[in-house]
Amino acid sequence: MILVTVGTHVQKFDRLVKAVNGLAEIHDEEIVLQRGTSEIDSDKVEGFAYTTGEHMEELTKRARVVISQASSGAVPTAFKYNKPVIVVPRLKKYNEHFNDHQIQLAEALEESGRVILIHEPTPQSLMAALNNIDSIKILGDQSAPLVAYLRDYFSSL
């Protein structure tokens, strides 16, 4: 199962939701999508707007791979359960966030080899990332240092 999460931010992340719906057309694997404020739906993707942290953790445990915004919630949770992560940062230019801090986080994670970074999600770019998922370093649960780094980083903004 592929778990996709856009988080709980108030701005929509329709670029990722559309790309995931397109991926479901060309990839035969269960996809579960937490779509947040997006109103885009699909009959090929199991989706919901919001749920509990416990439910997201259970879905993460079940997932083969996690596709996520560059967030301080979903990414460390995926690391906690040794799941490979494909990261798609929300961008200010598309009115998906107030600033571009997610690019900085995503690029740092990509540099470390822990994630595959996609700047412009399409069904094809997501499929290519899924086909290259074995290149990601799975280092066990090292989420505590990442969470500490994120807290320091965001408190300095």
pLDDT digit string, tens, across residues 45-104: 999 999 999 999 999 999 999 999 998 788 999 999 999 999 999 999 988 988 888 898
CB count within 10 Å of CB 32 equals 18
Distance CA 124, CA 24 (A): 11
pLDDT top residue among 107 and 143: 107
The domain containing residue 130 runs over which residues? 2-155
Q: What is the pLDDT of residue 148?
A: 63
Q: Half-sphere exposure of 46 toward its Cβ, with a 13 Å CA cutoff?
A: 8
Q: What is the pLDDT of residue 151?
A: 61
Q: What is the pLDDT of residue 105?
A: 87
Identify the band that residue 156 occupies on the pLDDT scale cut at 50, 70 and 90: low
Using the predicted structure, report yes or no on whether residue 152 has a pLDDT greater than 90.
Answer: no
Three-state secondary-structure class, residue 33:
strand
Q: For the chain, what is the domain count?
A: 1
pLDDT top residue among 152 and 42: 42
Encoding tokens for residue 116? 């595959």
Query: The CATH number of the domain where 99 resides is what?
Result: 3.40.50.2000
* Percentage of the chain modeled with pLDDT above 90: 68
DSSP assignment letter at 85: E
Identify the band that residue 149 occupies on the pLDDT scale cut at 50, 70 and 90: low
Q: What is the pLDDT of residue 142?
A: 58
DSSP assignment letter at 103: H
Identify the band that residue 42 occupies on the pLDDT scale cut at 50, 70 and 90: confident
Mean pLDDT over each residue of the chain, to the nearest integer:
90
- Please provide residue 13's backbone torsions phi and psi, each rounded to the nearest 5 degrees: -125, 60
